[in-house]
Amino acid sequence: MNAGHQTTRRLAAKAGKPICRSCKDTLSRNYASTAAAAVQTEDQVSQHIPPVAQTSSQTAYGVNAGVVLSRPPQITRDLHPFESAFFLYQRRLNERSALPFTRYFYYKDRTPADREWKRKIKQRLTPARDIGRYKGYGEEAWNDEVLVGAKESEFNWQVERLLEDAETTGAEDQPPGSSETTNSAVTQKKVEHEAVERPMSRITEADKKNDVKSLNRALQRTLYLLVKDKEGRWMFPQDRLQKETLKEAAQRVLEYAVGVNMNTWVVGNVPIGHYQQDYAKSLKTDAGLNELGLKTFFMKVRIMAGQANLKENQFGLKDFKWLAKEEIQKEVEQDYWRSIKNMLAER
C-alpha cells in the first residue's frame, strides 16, 4: 500500500466514513500484531523473565563435575545366619540318605579302602563327611537339630571341620605296633605331598589393621573414594565444569585430584545424581551473574587397578579414604549424605 492510500485511510477513519476492504484488512492485521506483542510482554512479566537488556540482575547456579569412584566386591557376600544353618541341614540330610547303605556298597570287604573306612568311622562316628558328631543308629539319632547360637551353625566352624576330616588319615587312633598302624604309616608317607588345599581367609591384614587407605579390605563390599578438601570436609572428588562434557570432566578431576596411577572406567555419559549447595549470600561472577550456589553432578566411575595418590593433586586435598556405604555416612555432612545415599550400593 502506497503513502497516499495510507493517508486517505486515516482521514476516512477520523471522519467516520466507510473505507475500502483492503484498508480494513490491513488495520485488522496491525491491531492483531500489536495485541499479540502486548500479551507476550504480559506473559514475560507474569513468569518473572527479565528482559535481555537487564543482564546484571540474572541469577544462576555454578556447575561442578563430581566423581563417584568405586571398587566393586572381590568375593561373594557373607552368608546370612539362616543360609549357614540351612547348609548344615543339607549336609545332615545327605548323611541320612547315606545311612541305608553299608560300607560294602562303596568298598569291597578286606580291601585297603575298606580298612580306611573302618578307621575313619571310629573317628567321625558318621558314615559321611558330615559336620559334627552324629550317630544315625544310636539312641539319640532323632536329636540332630542345631540349637540357636550353637557353634555348629557357624560357617567358619563348618569349614574347619570339613578340612579336618579331609586331612585325617585314619591312623591317629590306632595302637602303636599294630599292622593297621604300620600299613597306614606307609600309606601316609605316600600321600604326604598331597596336602589339602585350604581356602584363603576372607579377612585380610588390612581388615585386621582397619587400613581405610587400602583397597585390600572389605573384599565382600563396594568401597568408594572419599577425599578431604581444604576446609576439612569429606566428599567425592569434584571441580568446576569447564568447556567439556561431564565424562571428560570426570576423567580430568580424577587425574588432577588423585593422580594418574589408576586404571579407571567412566560408566556411561550421564550423571547418576546431583547435590545442590546454596550460598548464604549470592556471589557476583565475572559474567555479571548472581551465583546462588553450586550444583554438583556425579559421574559413576570404576577403578580397575592402581591406587590414589594425593602428592601432586591440584585441588589442595589433604587426605583420602576407601569406605563402604555405612562408613561414608559417618564422615560426610548430613545434607550431603541425603543427596548421595541413593547412589551407593548396599554391598
Q: What is the pLDDT of residue 48?
A: 43
Segment 267-291, tens digit of pLDDT: 999 999 999 999 988 888 877 788 8
User: What SS3 class is residue 163?
Assistant: helix
* Interval 57-76 mean pLDDT: 92
Q: What is the pLDDT of residue 8?
A: 52
Cβ–Cβ under 8 Å, residues 306 and 263: yes
Segment 92-106, tens digit of pLDDT: 777 666 666 666 777
Q: What's the whole-number average pLDDT of the chain?
A: 78
Cβ–Cβ under 8 Å, residues 295 and 63: yes
Residue 162 confidence class, pLDDT cut points 50, 70, 90:
confident
Tell me where in the chain the CATH 3.90.79.10 domain(s) lie. Answer: 60-74+203-343
Segment 247-260, tens digit of pLDDT: 999 999 999 999 99
Q: What is the pLDDT of residue 240?
A: 94
Residue scoring higher pLDDT (80 or 40)? 80
CATH number of 60-74+203-343: 3.90.79.10
* Interval 198-217 mean pLDDT: 93
Residue scoring higher pLDDT (264 or 92)? 264
Give the type of residue at 196.
V
Residues 6+ apart with CB under 8 A from 299: 65, 66, 67, 68, 246, 247, 249, 250, 266, 267, 268, 271, 272
Query: Measured at the alpha carbon of residue 114, what is the angle toward residues 110 and 118, in degrees to the nearest 5?
Result: 115
Residues 6+ apart with CB under 8 A from 8: none
